[in-house]
Structure 1
Amino acid sequence: MANEINLQTLKDWFTFIVAVVATVAGVIFWVQSINDPKFEKIEKDIQVLRSDIKQIRDNNNEILRIVGRLEGKLEN
């Protein structure tokens, strides 16, 4: 009878541990899935900023070329 109680207790503890691990894993995956849309929005914003910065650099290069030409014409 004592062996049966120990076996039943072991089964109960095993079931409890499996339930706790499954709950913790579920919470972790839930938290990660909730933050996914936020990360996607941030990544899109970063891409927009990168393209804006590239356009600004291109414009600055063009402005510097024009200023260089004007300086050259003024010196002559």
Structure 2
Amino acid sequence: MNIKKLLLSQIEKVVFDLRYDFLYEDEYGELLCQVIQRDSSGSIESTPISFHLRINEEKGTANPSTSKILTPSWPSSLS
């Protein structure tokens, strides 16, 4: 398993456990990742966090950069 797949699977697992959805777009070796919250009809209600990941598979490194952080509404048990 490569680093990108490992990171995406772990992020997705955590996000789903918190009852959010996880979207990502892979462009030119950089991942744009978004954690989203949906309303009861399935529409996107908010995007608590989005970030970019640049992954160098050859070196085995990942460099995250947060592009937008809004006030997240995480469950109080995590605060």
TM above 0.5, one fold?
no
When normalised by structure 1's length, the TM-score is 0.24
Name the one with the larger helix percent. Answer: 1
Higher relative contact order (CA 8 A, sep 6+): 2
Bigger radius of gyration:
1
Name the one with the larger strand percent. Answer: 2
